[in-house]
Chain A
Amino acid sequence: MLLNNLLRAACVAAVATIATAPARAADISGAGATFPYPIYSKWADAYKKETGNGLNYQSIGSGAGIKQILAKTVTFGASDAPLKEEKLKKDGLVQWPQVMGGIVPVVNIEGVKPGQLVLDGQTLADIFMGKIAKWSDPAIAKLNSGVKLPDAAIAVVRRSDGSGTTFNFTDYLSKVSADWKSKVGSSTAVEWPVGVGAKGNDGVAGNVGQTKNSIGYVEYAYAKQNKMTHVDMINAAGKRVSPTSAAFQAAAANADWAHAPGYYLILSNQPGDASWPMTAATFILMYAQPGDKAASTEALKFFDWAFKNGDKAAEELDYIPMPANVKDMIRKTWAADIKNK
């Protein structure tokens, strides 16, 4: 008798849940890159306060984001490594850049302050290849006269998971080092010659923070939030630059989005005296013919809101908003390519 009653109660409860589920406002669901996660979550907070609609963004990595959107478990996927136009066409996806940022090398060496150390692309590549194994190496000393560096082994920290940050970082190293290009190459996960692997931007930040005499690479927001020791770089023009919004912006200013099919554009090693060499855009992927049109419309509303109101928040976290003309181009792309009606 008791069991019967319990069963009945459970049935009633189940029916009630099913009936009320659609009435609740569905959160916008997305998954992908960890690189833009700090800014997406900040935007999501503000958007929720304004509209009551939430964003459920899982920062699981670019590769996983692409996998999730292909499996149609999320409304949008996010990736730092853009997909080529043929791939977009094949899978019926639309891609656009949402925001830009910088990747910075970070170190943990006793006595070295942020911005004190400077490296050029070749030296950075050699460190990550294991060719330069000690901080006292003449190649580093030559660039850093006056900085006291220990005679200690360099502990390289890199990603263990597939990563858009890795894609942009290794793309830069491939452009500046022929040796890197032929032996390691660029992709979301490469065969690292040396180093320990850590999961996610936060994992690399944590490992570098823990390990003496280490070097890693993270998105600038992670370096800033964790108060890490960043390294200055010698850029393509041969000038020393610090990772600042201005330097990221200078690199982004060169980008020719209008002539990049599917917005496929990689911003590493851009010319210009003030350009930060490891600047990257992060991309959103959505279906041209979405299965759930209402969810797709909601997601686009959020991205449009972010273009309109999100620039200040982005700048606070040292991301670079897309230029106004590019935003208009992207809005046109939405209207033309995504069939929400």
Chain B
Amino acid sequence: MGNEELIVKLQELFPAASIIQGNDWPEISFESGADFLSTIDVLKSDQTLAFDYLFCETCVDWKTHFTMVYHLDSTRFRHNIVLKYKLDRETPEIDSLSFVYRTSEQHEREIFDLFGIIFKGHPNLKRILLTEDWVGYPLRKDYDDPINMIKL
């Protein structure tokens, strides 16, 4: 499916979401509180979409809120979309995708480690890159470490 067709199809499926054409791929954004797991379920199981390959999962700190960013690919049709989900800064919680895409188990652990996002239903949510006793979430914009970080 081309990008225009994808946008039309996605607007049919998710009328509440905002869908725009990004630099490369369509971007579909959800506000916090939307039912995330059922969205993913539709995207993965729909016969004309078949997004079965999560190739990038990350988070962006926008100072006022977090945005989870998922890049999805379909190995059958070779079309991509970007899925975004807005999170509160105070209680950053989102459903874990580790039972849908197994690759996200490690990616979510990394995001938990560096951003402090809580993934509900994750089988093994603990720090992966930093030591267990590390304080703070280094990739947040307000992170400061006067001992280890030498500012230029």
- Do A and B share a complex? no
**Which residues of A pack against B, CB within 8 Å?**
none
